Amino acid sequence: MNIAILGFGTVGVGVYDLMKSRTDLCVKYVLDLREFPELGSLLTHDVNTILSDPDVDTVIEVMGGLHPSFEFVSAALNAGKHVVTANKYLISTYFRELTALATQNGVCLRCTAAAGGGIPWLVNLERAKRVDRITRLGGIMNGTTNFIMDAMQHRQMEFADALSQAQALGYAEADPSADIDGWDIQRKLAISANIAFDCLLRTEDIPCCGIRNITAEDVQMLATEGLSCRLLASGQRNEGSVSAYVEPTLLADGSPEAAVPSNFNLITFTGEAVGRLSFFGQGAGRYPTACNCVQDCVDIANGCGTFYSAAMKHVPVDNDAVSHAYYVRTAAPDGWLQHLTRRKMGSGVITEPVSVRAMHEWLQQALLRDPGCFIAGLL
């Protein structure tokens, strides 16, 4: 198989390194605007060189971002080339368009590294679906936020200090918004739910609350109650709809997610027959992510010719179908919150069970009154 790598950054270098010793996968081109003398004749600055070469079987997109990634991947699919990508932003935004293009052109689109990094998450969802019905999925899908929460809980760090350390270690970007505001998890959840539930969710269908406003005082108080906070994705199949949301979640100490250390992920699905299966590992990083890109190429070379799901349909998101109690801390409580309050806890309150839809809608208004407002679901 002849391969072109689009992007020679962290993951692109990892893919190239892993392929150098293989005889079944041959890197014919590397596309990047920068100069890399060590690549010699493999380097090209023009994507048309790749698109017009009939010997290129598969394009691996690891550039990141939406543009020109979308244009390049679309052109590759239209040129009859298989595509492997680690780009969760691209797949979650253009899920309908890219899966349709792959089908129309009779080529394979795979994105195992886009949700789970090095964890073989999507391929196991695909495998389980062959004989089982997936009813739930979710868990810790972002290593940066887990690193921050773990450091705040076990090393009593302030949020800003934990974030700075995550940035120094390369776990968080200079602009960490996609991680700490939950957008990265939102994208991974959209991809995962679409595959597990054969649906067509958009990221804007999934309400999202991050950890930006959590304080060391919150974390320490929760620890005295035997609770740990983690930023979790949650998806659930209902009758005729699905529920999907991202929010900080309070877990009893000793639960599997509460025990996940540092920047690791723990992602879980539940099947009607198989029950609960969880996948633990590195959700990002050069070689873990590159491993899944290369695995996708091997699968294609061995005859895999389709996306993970072929029966996608429009399904409404119903977050009224899920209700639970919340921990809420705000300097500007209103009558709605006061009516729901069950008891005080630290600087906040614990509510009666309330639907996820109602709480997330309330939060958007509450943040206008109190930009430091923080909520966490209580399971």
Catalytic residues: 188
Cβ atoms 199, 312 nearer than 8 A? yes
φ and ψ at 46, to 5 degrees?
A: -120, 115
* Cα torsion 19, 25, 26, 32: sign: negative
Q: Look up residue 353 and give its two tokens.
A: 């069970």
Could you report how far apart the first and last alpha carbons of the chain are, in Å?
A: 48
Cβ atoms 319, 356 nearer than 8 A? yes
- Cα–Cα distance between 280 and 231 in angstroms, integer? 16
- Cα–Cα distance between 246 and 225 in angstroms, integer? 23
- Cα–Cα distance between 149 and 179 in angstroms, integer? 12
Question: What is the CA 138 to chain-centroid distance, rounded?
Answer: 10
Cβ atoms 63, 6 nearer than 8 A? yes
User: Is omega for the bond preceding 68 within 30 degrees of 0, making it cis?
Assistant: yes
C-alpha angle 289/290/293, rounded to 5°?
A: 95
- Cα–Cα distance between 168 and 266 in angstroms, integer? 23
Of 177, 182, 145, the C-alpha closest to 162 is: 145
Residue 363 amino acid letter: L
Of 319, 156, 337, the C-alpha closest to 236 is: 319
- Cα–Cα distance between 335 and 322 in angstroms, integer? 23
